[in-house]
Amino acid sequence: MQPFTYYMPTKVICGRDCVLSQGECFKALGTHALIVTGKSSAANGALGDVLAALAKNGQTATVFDRVTPNPTVACVREGVALLAAAGADCIVAIGGGSPMDAAKAIATLAVQERTDDEIFAGGYEARALPMAHVPTTAGTGSEVTPYTILTNDAKETKTSITSPAMFPRLAFLDGKYMAHLPVASTVNTALDAFSHAVEGMLSRNATPLSDALARESLHILYPLLRKTAGELTLDERDALLYASMLAGMTIAQSGTTAVHGMGYALTYFYGIDHGRANGLLLGGALRLCEKKKVPALADILAACGDTLEGVCVTIDALLGKKEDIPRARLEEFAVRAMGNKNIKKSAYEPTEEEVRAIYLGAFGR
């Protein structure tokens, strides 16, 4: 057995109304919480539940609901300033990947000062304010990872930051918050989760346990993936959220690979949703794995219970009409992507030529 490490210290609490029924768990976090969220958490009911749970515990809260998709350093700085002004000693994140990632950066920068130049320089200590995360999409898995991904304007991409203290103390999983999620958001976030499980298995840092978690995730997620374009029952929402969490546990061990590394340019320059960006590139990456006879591909397909062709057809059906991106831009992205650290983490070791072919193929160029 190759050497490996497993670590995922977040306590995960799953079930209908768990924020309310297990709300006493918030007590250990602190006395005044900064709630980091976007605009939709009030509508889906999550904000109300968290505020009720905190109030019942005698905890107070300040709401920071100005997190936008693909959070910037400026947004994080605004959150840190509000946290300090409010005297908050803990954080509750509510939302999709953007509020959760912003919350992790706020929790870290609140106790470790960094200049803008140093933010992406790594070397963070394992210190952060304690956090609880309440995902309201089933995709990012950020509630069980030690990563935050922020927009990096200096490098014109999105860049991850990591520290063991970025694992939330608590994650509350309740599919009811996704009951009225728009179809496009459901599809895109499910593609993100699918990509996490697949990329985890294609990572050079895959471990026996991350693979087991990924297989379990795919086994549950893949049949649901086909359904995300239609109506989902609340049970299916719960299952999707659970599978997304398993995929998060996977990448917490293995990290992501070329698909994520390549997708960031599509998001940064064309505003393509993160999950959709991964979905656009995933089919090409899987075909490359077949060509290069990557052993993990067979395990991925077995866990999905489908053929490579079937998986590609499923993804394509969810993606619909592709964006119109000039060939020259895609070729430029291929050059850029080779500088991304995630590329080197792929077990299939894509060359620049292969990365270019995936980009071009994704948009029918």
The CA-based dihedral angle spanning residues 83, 85, 89, 92, taken in that order and rounded to the nearest 10 degrees: -30
> What is the token pair recorded at 240?
């999707």
> Which is it for the CA torsion 91, 93, 99, 100, positive or negative?
positive
Q: For 193-207, give the secondary structure using H, E and C.
A: HHHHHHHHHCECCCC
In terms of CB distance, is 63 or 171 closer to its own copies? 171
Q: Is residue 182 within 8 Å of 190, Cβ to Cβ?
A: no
Report 190-209 residues binding its own copies (CB under 8 A): 208-209
Q: How far is the CB of 126 from its own copies (least distance, A)?
A: 8
Q: How far is the CB of 97 from its own copies (least distance, A)?
A: 20
* 86 interacts with its own copies by CB under 8 A: no
Compute CA distances 134 → 129, 141, 144, 314, whole Å.
16, 11, 11, 29
> Which is it for the CA torsion 322, 277, 358, 328, positive or negative?
positive
> What is the token pair recorded at 332?
């430029």
In terms of CB distance, is 164 or 271 closer to its own copies? 164
Report 234-253 residues binding its own copies (CB under 8 A): 235, 238-239, 242, 246
Which one of 213, 258, 289, 325 is in contact with its own copies (CB under 8 A)?
A: 213
* 11 interacts with its own copies by CB under 8 A: yes
* 123 interacts with its own copies by CB under 8 A: no
In terms of CB distance, is 18 or 102 closer to its own copies? 18
Which one of 199, 216, 273, 354 is in contact with its own copies (CB under 8 A)?
A: 216
* 270 interacts with its own copies by CB under 8 A: no
Applying CB under 8 A, the residues found at the interface with its own copies are 1-9, 11-16, 18, 21-22, 175, 208-209, 212-213, 216, 235, 238-239, 242, 246
